[in-house]
Structure 1
Amino acid sequence: MSFEGLQSGVVSILQQENKTRDEKLQELCAYLSNNVAYYNWVGFYFANHETKTLHLGPYVGAPTDHTVIPFGKGICGQVAESNANFVVPDVSAQDNYIACSFTVKSEIVVPLFVNGVNIGQIDIDSHVLDPFSEVDERFLEFVNQEVAKLF
């Protein structure tokens, strides 16, 4: 399915009135993982600006020990500081990469803004080298714009 085709599903999931925000985000992670073949781990991290740490939120994929990540550490921590998308075609070429699993080959992280403040991010790992394109970035920016409406 195309990213354009997935947009209506994203909106439908996030507009459900009978579910909590975390339930919606959990369902969204599953939806993305199930509908994009190379999205093998999909999750959200949320920022605590006082402690300068990211905290794992809803996700789908292999369990991770990385439930708290300091700002600046790893790809997610760098996005918390840069406020910019970060696409990593090959994680083995990144010095500041936090390895979650030997099966992860690439990663994309897109910040989540609410009222101009980076409150977290969507993080996606892939078992494929270099699968992410500008189309993924635009789609995930759309996803985060929709998620921001929950806050």
Structure 2
Amino acid sequence: MFQQVTYSDDRMKGYELLIKQLHALSEDEKDQIALLANAASLLNQFLDEVNWVGFYLWKDEELVLGPFQGLPACVRIPYGRGVCGTAIKEKKTQLVPDVHAFPGHIACDAASNSEIVVPMIINGEIYGVLDIDSPIKERFDETDQLYLEKFVDALSQYL
């Protein structure tokens, strides 16, 4: 049913297909947890060389673990701490080629070496973040950032 995104000339087409499949999975669903769970699963199936894909949701001035695919994770992340907390503080995507060089990185999984975190801002309010980790250094690039931001924008229409 789903095609995996590979690192070839078809990456952008793969991401466009990913976003179309997100719409198909989401268009008739109203439950936010179900939407986020399917989105995490969809990304986990599409992206190669990732070891954690999920969401942290903004609750009571901190990020709280939401639906994800991967090993158990940190449950709460304070505002401004780690890659996820920084993405919320700065309200911009954090593309981190080497998490060990990121000041204040929170190591939930010692196998993670790179990370991308896309903030989710809906109607001007913090909703949470999409967080993706990889055991490969420099796994994510500007193409991933562009299309993961589009993915989050598409998902936000349903939340």
CA offset at residue 138 of structure 1?
A: 1.2
CA offset at residue 14 of structure 1?
A: 1.7
The within-5 A match list for 1:2-151 is 2-17=14-29, 20-48=31-59, 51-64=60-73, 66-151=74-159
CA offset at residue 20 of structure 1?
A: 2.3
Structure 1 unaligned blocks of 5 or more: none
- Relative to the length of structure 2, the TM-score reads 0.86
CA offset at residue 146 of structure 1?
A: 1.6
Partner AA of 2:53 in structure 1: V
Distance in 1 between residues matched to 2:125 and 2:95, nearest whole Å? 21
CA offset at residue 116 of structure 1?
A: 2.0
Give aligned pairs, total: 147
Distance in 1 between residues matched to 2:50 and 2:31, nearest whole Å? 24
Partner AA of 2:44 in structure 1: S
Give the share of equivalent positions with the same residue, in percent. 34
Question: RMSD of the alignment, in Å?
Answer: 1.4
Distance in 2 between residues matched to 1:81 and 1:3, nearest whole Å? 27
CA offset at residue 144 of structure 1?
A: 1.2
Q: Is the Cα contact below 8 Å between 2:112 and 2:135 reproduced in 1?
A: yes
SS of equivalent to 1:141: helix
CA offset at residue 93 of structure 1?
A: 1.1
CA offset at residue 118 of structure 1?
A: 2.4
Distance in 1 between residues matched to 2:77 and 2:110, nearest whole Å? 19
CA offset at residue 34 of structure 1?
A: 1.0
Partner AA of 1:88 in structure 2: V
- Relative to the length of structure 1, the TM-score reads 0.90
